[in-house]
Amino acid sequence: MQNVSKEIFLNSLECLTLGWLTRSGQFQKTRAMGNMFRMEQGIKVGRIAQKLYPEGILVDEQDMESASMKTKSLMNNPKISTIFEGAFISDGFSTRADILKRKDNNWHMIEVKSGVKDKADFINDMAYTTMVIELSGFNVYKDTVMLISKDFRSGMKNESLFIEIDHTGDVFDRVYEFKRVFKQIKKLTKMPEKPDPFLQFECRRCQIFKECMGKGIDNHIFDIPRLSKSTFDELIESNIICIEDIPDESPLIQSQDIVRVCVQTKKPFVSDDLKEILESILWPAYYLDFEAVTTAIPLYPNIAPYDQIPTQYSIHKCSKPDFITDHFEYLADPRKDCRRELAKNLNNDLKGEGSIIVYSNFEKRIITGLSRLCPDLSEELDLLVDRLIDLEAIIRKNFYHPDFKGSTSIKRTLPVLVPDMSYNGLEISDGDSAMAVFAYLALDKYEYEKAEAIKKRLLDYCKQDTLAMVKLHKRLIEYL
């Protein structure tokens, strides 16, 4: 019989159906290139953490039964002071601990995370592992989390990569709460039949919502932007789960009610201000998009972990809507930090007075960061910021299409408004993958020919983003 893992246990706390599906293997997360890269970074960070304890013994058995037997024998050997990836199975619950350090017959558990932020979820993770270790007959006296230090720079010693935070008190409190419910969860997750799912507020963030409570429902109330728990409860009390069924006298605020009316009338909403806003755009306009790379272990000197490093941009220049007169692009040499060169080229390519159209706040943050980094270029860069126009913010406030399903991201608005344009034919078709392949280029993971082909795909992807904005803008104007 399958053991209850940390994931199953924690999912069950949120929703029994989700816990059951995790257990039965019906819930498979897809692993795109970006996710794969993040996972590899996590493994790399874990290995560096282990190097801080040269006396440590790694339990490298993948099979949980043999791994737990080896762990038990190591823990019962007083000569062993540190164990990596210790495995535990007790009463059908299983877990692995990143690092365990002995103090007499008690253990200090260290959870290694590859992020810089201390998160509330970590307490749950550590509490679950601590609980299973204790159920296995060993005593944990201390729980700490090792996070990546923002002060680390490449070239520093491994010790400087981490900061350690003591969460013993919070973890022990949570272990106490878990112990009260674990028998109940064990019983429920091992039931042969899936428990009947029911709609709850937590479903809105569930990764299998579309296959579970959202299945077959076209305009679910979760498509209402910024739906609060109290509004959700009110709608559910009236047995309303579809936007179509919400009455005119609804608890929705004005911006949410626009979505309701759009869905019910099947007509887009166009604000009275949209015309004036779009007419204020100065031509020639420049459509700008950046890509950036962020890594746990910095790729270049003098960069902090998880700093966002712009790596490329695309600019479409138009003399009037959908009338492209020029295209500029830049892709950094992955072997070095090219932010200064990128900033210089950017100033050059965006010379003029026309509006710079972007989609989200990201480009503003990147240009502001470049301005801080290169004080001698900051005057020109700051002028670029003054010319920015965020097309997504304009859409969010002034336009809604019944098929937007509550989102104004370009991946949602483009297929609705410009259905003949898509990212399907592109080999790199999302920002996460673009970031991952750039990092692999920087880490010299590809042969020369493959690297050159990938650089072309990166340029194609970024170019598609700015072309998408050109087409979206034109389509919006057609609604006026």
The binding site for ligand SF4 (CB under 6 A) comprises: 15, 17-18, 197, 202-203, 206, 208-209, 212-213
How far apart are CB 236 and ligand SF4 at their closest, in Å?
13
CA 169 vs. chain centroid, Å, equals 29
| Cross-strand bridge partners of residue 112 | 146
SS3 310: strand
SS (H, E, C) 146-208: EEECCCCCCCCCHHHHEEEEECHHHHHHHHHHHHHHHHHHHHHHCCCCCCCCCCCHHHHHCCC
Q: How far apart are the first and last CA of the chain?
A: 62
Choose between 160 and 207: whose C-beta lies nearer to ligand SF4: 207
How far apart are CB 212 and ligand SF4 at their closest, in Å?
3
Choose between 112 and 206: whose C-beta lies nearer to ligand SF4: 206
Tokens of 198: 């029911």
CA distances for 51 relative to 37, 41, 82, 153, 476, angstroms? 21, 16, 12, 18, 56
CA dihedral 276, 279, 285, 291 (to 10 degrees): 30
Report the alpha-carbon distance of residue 147 to residue 151 in Å, rounded: 12
Choose between 202 and 444: whose C-beta lies nearer to ligand SF4: 202
How far apart are CB 23 and ligand SF4 at their closest, in Å?
12
Choose between 13 and 297: whose C-beta lies nearer to ligand SF4: 13
How far apart are CB 193 and ligand SF4 at their closest, in Å?
15
Choose between 205 and 372: whose C-beta lies nearer to ligand SF4: 205
How far apart are CB 196 and ligand SF4 at their closest, in Å?
9
How far apart are CB 126 and ligand SF4 at their closest, in Å?
23
How far apart are CB 404 and ligand SF4 at their closest, in Å?
21
C-beta neighbour count of 437 within 10 angstroms: 25
How far apart are CB 232 and ligand SF4 at their closest, in Å?
13
Choose between 210 and 320: whose C-beta lies nearer to ligand SF4: 210
How far apart are CB 197 and ligand SF4 at their closest, in Å?
3
451: Cβ contacts below 8 Å, ≥ 6 apart: 441
Choose between 17 and 312: whose C-beta lies nearer to ligand SF4: 17
Report the alpha-carbon distance of residue 200 to residue 211 in Å, rounded: 15
41: Cβ contacts below 8 Å, ≥ 6 apart: 114, 295, 296, 297
CA dihedral 206, 239, 406, 249 (to 10 degrees): -150
SS3 91: coil
CA distances for 94 relative to 55, 88, 132, 262, angstroms? 25, 5, 7, 49
Choose between 202 and 379: whose C-beta lies nearer to ligand SF4: 202
How far apart are CB 269 and ligand SF4 at their closest, in Å?
29
Q: DSSP states of 239-302 as a string?
A: T--BGGG--SS-S--HHHHHHHHHHHHT--EE-TTHHHHHHT--SSEEEEEEEEE--SS-SSTT
